[in-house]
Structure 1
Amino acid sequence: MAFADLGLSDPLLRAVHDSGYDVPTPIQKGAIPSVLMGKDLIGIAQTGTGKTASFVLPMIDILAEGRSRARMPRSMILEPTRELAAQVAENFEKYGKYHKLSMALLIGGVQMGDQIKALEKGVDVLIATPGRLMDLFGRGKILLTGCNLLVIDEADRMLDMGFIPDIEEICSKLPKARQTLLFSATMPPPIKKLADKFLTDPKQIEVARPASANANIEQKLLSVPGAKKRDAVRTILREDGFKNAIIFCNKKVTVRELYTSLKRSGFAVGQIHGDMDQSSRIEEFDRFKKDDINVLVASDVAARGLDVKGVSHVINFDVPWQPDDYVHRIGRTGRAGAKGIAYTLATSADAEAVGAIEKLTGHKIARVSTADAAPAEEAAAPAERPAKSEKRPRREEPKRKTEAAKKERQPELVDEGDAYRPTVEPLTADDAEPAWNGPVPSFLSFAAS
């Protein structure tokens, strides 16, 4: 089946062809015809399956007829994070280049002035995070009575970040006679309850078992002591076939420390975490997309917000706290039918978390021996050590020199051990959306009607 068989218009097919796509993915095959027919839809699809295009493409054709009115968006897409909202905005610009549709992007951390101006002109497509949308609605700057098409994207992530009450309030302010599309990688009970409440006789499309990992991703589990994790990462980054990698850490402080360590080792590396302002995060992301850097160290704020073609490796420096996050992390590789490799570095204390991941995905991660991932000099070291039966003479260096040597080595010894591990709570919505008062990057600008 080709895109031309899905009922899309010729200008839209031309834009899809210009983007280099010829064959729709399974979620696109199932969703696009139903959306064009005006049906409500539930799409359950793992990350990297072309889910965004499955609603962006039919929306462009649906909105081609009609005109927008001031402060009354004709359609709305809700995203849990700024990064995801920006990705969807890019998709609309790419696929809608032969249509005259206006778009506004409402995200936190950006001055409201330009957003309000765009709304006053009228927009066909409104892409928003719940917090900023509710803020502008409370100020009377936006009316939702003309919104006849709603997309709730990454619904399970919305649940994790505590946005479900906001989603329910937003839905209650929209026209009852509307089309609603809900997409999620998993379908926990609260999301099923949300769908039952706000969708009418929806068609459900499931292209992969909930929480299953992409079959194109080769998954490997490396058992390694915490003090050797950085050595293991360096070895992976130097292996044959390596192109680029996203490395995920559980804590923001770990992101910063690993970034510093890899940069000191000569790697072209960047970082993204919740303490960075939005402009800095976008700048690092763009450097990675343009191959100015080939290693990006990130917290889970980026697990669902990064969409880069051709990522060869994902490395879980820490086993994620939530099993669902594992699926989304490794989904940054193996996208659009490509092959990918996902390493997870686990200590003995991570056994329970690894078991939870394997139970969720129904897949046992292949174990890799420590020797396979150890640096060459580390692997050779045991052969050079004297046998235990041999008596080694005590060092004759003065005590002062020994202490100086220890002090000199200290930066490399500081790692993720229990003695150095501060207590940091799991990511929250605040982690995902720090304040930012800088200018809006060019690719986030509003399209003029």
Structure 2
Amino acid sequence: MSFEYLGLSDELLKAVRDAGYDTPTPIQRQAIPAILQGRDVIGIAQTGTGKTAGFTLPMIDILSQGRAKARMPRTLILEPTRELAAQVAESFEKYGKHSKLSMALLIGGVSFGDQEAKLERGVDVLIATPGRLLDHATRGNVMLNGVQVLVVDECDRMLDMGFIPDVESICQKIPQAHQTLFFSATLSKEIKRLTDKFLNDPKLIEVAPPASTAATVSQSIAIVGAREKSKALRELIASDDIDSAIVFCNRKVEVKSVYTSLKRAGLAVGQLHGDMAQPDRMDTLARFKSGDVRILVASDVAARGLDIPSVSHVFNYDVPRNSEDYVHRIGRTGRAGRKGCSVTLAMPSDTKAVLEIEALIGRPIDRQPLKEVKTRELESDEETPKKSGGRPARKPRGKAAQAKTQSTNSEEKSNATAKEDASSESATIEPQAKAAPQKPSRSRSKPKETEKSEDKKAKDRSADDRKARANTSTGNRRSNNGNGRHHHEDDSPVVGMGSHVPAFLMRPVPKRG
């Protein structure tokens, strides 16, 4: 089937041919006629299936009749990230070049004044991220009561990024008489709840199972130590003929670290993460698409849904946190029937994550050998720490725990001192008893010296006992802070005299005549 059978206008068909496309993708074949008929649509499709053109093409035809009013856009497209919003804007420019549609892009990192000026002139197509759109709506720069078609793209990513409350708020500002299109890679319960709330008898289009991966993409995994990952990545890049590649990291700090490592190795590399200014992000994407940058190091959020058809390789520097993200990541390569290559760097402790990915895609992932880096094996289930037990005990944290530890240590020291003093004291008292038969002069002088020495020891021990009791009391008070959370955890015995009796209490009391 060709695009001519989908009901598009001649001007639009010409733009499609100019872009080099002849045959619609499965989601385009199903979505375009339904949208032209005015139906609500739920499109479940992976990145790279042509879903963006699946809604931009019919929207251009729908908007060919009519005219926009000031601050009242006729259509609204919500995207989770700036890059995706800019990508959709490029699609409208490419396919709408033979029409006279006006368009505005509301994203962060761009002047409010320029965006406000476009809105004031009136736009047919408004493409925005939820946060920036609500900012303009609060300022009175845009009114949504004239929206005829609403598109919520990448719904699952909206959910992941916490934008669902904003999306609901925006949907409630739009009049009921409008067409709504939801597109997502997966259909979770939360997204189903939204579609039930805001869509009217929608047509469900699901072109591929969300867990499937393209058959044209070869997948492998290299298991290495944490300190060997950078070296392993450089070996993988050097060992293959790479036209363009995306390296995915789980955190921004790793994006920066890997970018620096590859740049020092002399590679044409760029980075993409949330800390970058919008002009820098757009410039990096443009250089990557043009080929000036051959390797792009990116986080999941920054690269989600990017339409870069010529990516030959995908490297997962980290095993994705969610197994579904693995499918989204490797979906950047092997598009439109092209061959692609995906290699994941895993550590031996990543057993659970790797097994979940293999269960999701329905087959084991081949192991990738390396020459310069020693590869390892995944830990067995028995070696992998379990949630219940198996984890070594952690050291106490916080002031309360430290106080409790100090109290316990003080008590142990006090008891140990008490035992030592008791043994030494019994040794002292025993000779005292044997010294009784000696001459009166010597027996009087020696007990006096002994008494002084014993009194001094007793005072020292009493001071130690008072200090131990003070430490214990302080530890108890500290551990009882925080609404009594540790009240039952600190039932240490009260430290008294310990296991000894001071010498002065052992002296016989003289009888009074």
Range class of TM-score, shorter chain: 0.7 to 0.9
Q: Where in structure 2 are the equivalents of 1:220-235 lying within 5 Å? A: 220-235=220-235
User: Which letter does structure 2 place at the counterpart of 1:107?
Assistant: I
Inter-partner Cα distance in structure 1 for 2:93 and 2:35: 20
Match of 1:2 in 2: 2
Shift of 1:305: 4.3
* Residue identity opposite 2:114 in structure 1: D
Which residue of 1 is the match for residue 147 of structure 2? 147
Deviation at 1:325, TM superposition (A): 1.8
Structure 1 residue 313 corresponds to structure 2 residue 310: no
Aligned to 1:285, the other structure's residue is in SS state: helix
Alignment match, 2:76: 76
Kept in 2: contact 1:103–1:123 (CA 8 A): yes
Q: Distance in 2 between matches of 1:281 and 1:305?
A: 15
* Whole-angstrom distance in 2 between the partners of 1:351 and 1:303: 26
Code of the aligned partner of 2:304: R
Report the residue type matching 1:9 in the other structure. S
The residue number in structure 2 matching 1:353 is: 353
Structure 1: any 5+ residue segments left out of the alignment?
Answer: 380-449
Query: Aligned residue for 2:342?
Result: 342
Find the aligned partners of 1:9 and 1:274 in 2 and give their Cα distance: 40
CA distance in structure 2 between the aligned counterparts of 1:342 and 1:185, rounded to whole angstroms: 20
Unpaired segments ≥5 residues, structure 2? 375-513
Task: Tell me which amino acid in the other structure corresponds to 1:144.
Answer: L
- The one-letter amino acid paired with 1:232 is A
Q: How does 1:35-114 map to 2 (within 5 A)?
A: 35-114=35-114
Letter in 1 for 2:19: S
Q: Secondary structure at the match of 2:151?
A: strand
In the other structure, the counterpart of 1:188 is: 188
Q: 2:370 aligns with which of 351, 373, 387?
A: 373
| Structure 1 residue 367 displacement after superposition | 2.4
CA contact (8 A) 1:171 1:198 kept: yes
Q: Which amino acid aligns with 2:151?
A: V
Instruction: Specify the code of the residue in structure 2 equivalent to 1:61.
Output: D
What's the offset of the Cα at 1:23? 0.7
1:143-222 pair list within 5 angstroms: 143-222=143-222
Counterparts of 2:211 and 2:62, CA distance in 1: 31
Partner residue in 2 for 1:279 = 279
Aligned to 1:440: none
Counterpart of 1:219, as a letter, is Q
Secondary structure at the aligned position of 1:190 is classed as helix
Give 1:413's aligned residue. Answer: none
Residue 336 of structure 1 and its aligned partner are, at CA, apart by 2.0
Residue type matched to 1:123 in 2? V
Q: Distance in 2 between matches of 1:242 and 1:288?
A: 13
The CA distance in 1 between the partners of 2:371 and 2:306, in whole Å, is 29
In 1, are the aligned partners of 2:272 and 2:302 still within 8 Å (CA)? yes
3-state SS, counterpart of residue 315 of structure 1:
strand
Question: Does structure 2 conserve the Cα–Cα contact (< 8 Å) formed by 1:303 and 1:325?
Answer: no
Q: Using the TM superposition, give the Cα deviation of residue 309 of structure 1 relative to its aligned residue in structure 2, in angstroms.
A: 1.9
**Residue 229 of structure 1: CA displacement?**
1.3
Report the Cα distance in structure 1 between the residues aligned to 2:84 and 2:360, rounded to whole angstroms: 24
Greater relative CO (CA pairs within 8 A, separation 6+): 1
Distance 1:358 1:122 in 2: 50
Measured in 2, the distance between the counterparts of 1:317 and 1:217 equals: 18
Q: For 1:70, what is the secondary structure of its paired residue?
A: coil
Distance across 1 between alignment mates of 2:361 and 2:202: 26
> Which letter does structure 1 place at the counterpart of 2:321?
W
Give the C-alpha shift of residue 244 in structure 1: 1.6
Q: For 2:230 and 2:371, locate their aligned partners in 1 and report how far apart those are by CA, in whole Å.
A: 10
Q: Does 1:243 align with 2:246?
A: no
- What's 2:19 paired with? 19
CA distance in 2, matches of 1:240, 1:246: 14
Partner in structure 1 of residue 385 of structure 2: none
Q: Partner letter of residue 246 of structure 2?
A: I
Contact 1:319 1:344 in 2 (8 A): yes
How many Å separate the matches in 1 of 2:362 and 2:172?
A: 37
User: In percent, how many aligned pairs have the same letter?
Assistant: 63
Q: Residues 287 and 293 of structure 2 are in contact (CA less than 8 Å); yes or no, is this contact kept in structure 1?
A: yes
Corresponding letter in the other structure for 1:117: A
The alpha carbon displacement at 1:354 in A equals 1.6
Distance in structure 2 (CA, Å) of the matches to 1:46 and 1:167: 21
Amino acid at match of 2:163: F
CA distance in 2, matches of 1:169, 1:266: 48
Q: Distance in 1 between matches of 2:146 and 2:211?
A: 35
CA distance in 1, matches of 2:166, 2:361: 30
> Aligned equivalents of 1:213 and 1:304: distance in 2?
16
**C-alpha separation between the residues in 2 aligned to 1:138 and 1:159?**
23
Aligned position for 2:493: none
Question: What's 1:299 paired with?
Answer: 299
**Separation of aligned partners in 2, 1:346 and 1:308:** 26
1:390 equivalent in structure 2: none
Specify the alignment match of 2:265 in structure 1: 265
How many Å apart are 1:132 and its aligned residue? 0.6
Give the whole-Å Cα distance in 2 for the aligned partners of 1:374 and 1:58: 52
User: Aligned partners of 1:81, 1:237: CA distance in 2, in Å?
Assistant: 29
Q: Distance in 1 between matches of 2:364 and 2:23?
A: 31
The CA distance in 2 between the partners of 1:337 and 1:9, in whole Å, is 27
Q: Secondary structure at the match of 2:65?
A: coil
Question: Do 1:246 and 1:314's aligned partners in 2 also have CA atoms closer than 8 Å?
Answer: yes
Alignment RMSD? 1.3
Amino acid in the other structure paired with 1:314: V
The secondary structure found in structure 1 opposite 2:205 is: strand
Q: Which amino acid aligns with 1:333?
A: T
Contact residue 4 and residue 13 of structure 2 kept, 8 A: yes
Question: Residue 257 of structure 2: SS of its match in structure 1?
Answer: helix
CA-to-aligned-CA distance 1:219-262 (integer Å, 9 cap, x gap): 11111112221222112212343222110111212111111111
CA drift of 1:113 comes to 0.6
**DSSP 3-state at the match of 2:174:** coil
Letter in 2 for 1:91: S
For 2:305 and 2:5, locate their aligned partners in 1 and report how far apart those are by CA, in whole Å.
Answer: 30
Q: Alpha carbons of 1:363 and 1:56: their partners in 2 closer, same or farther (altered >3 Å)?
A: farther
- Whole-angstrom CA distance in 2 between matches of 1:303 and 1:280: 14
Structure 2 CA distance for aligned equivalents of residues 171 and 240 of structure 1: 48
Cα offset, 1:351, TM superposition: 1.3
Q: Which deviations, in whole Å up to 9, do the C-alpha atoms of 1:138-161 show, x marking residues without a partner?
A: 111111111010001000000001
Report the AA paired with residue 123 of structure 2: V
Once the 2 structures are TM-superposed, how far is the Cα of residue 330 of structure 1 from its aligned partner?
1.1
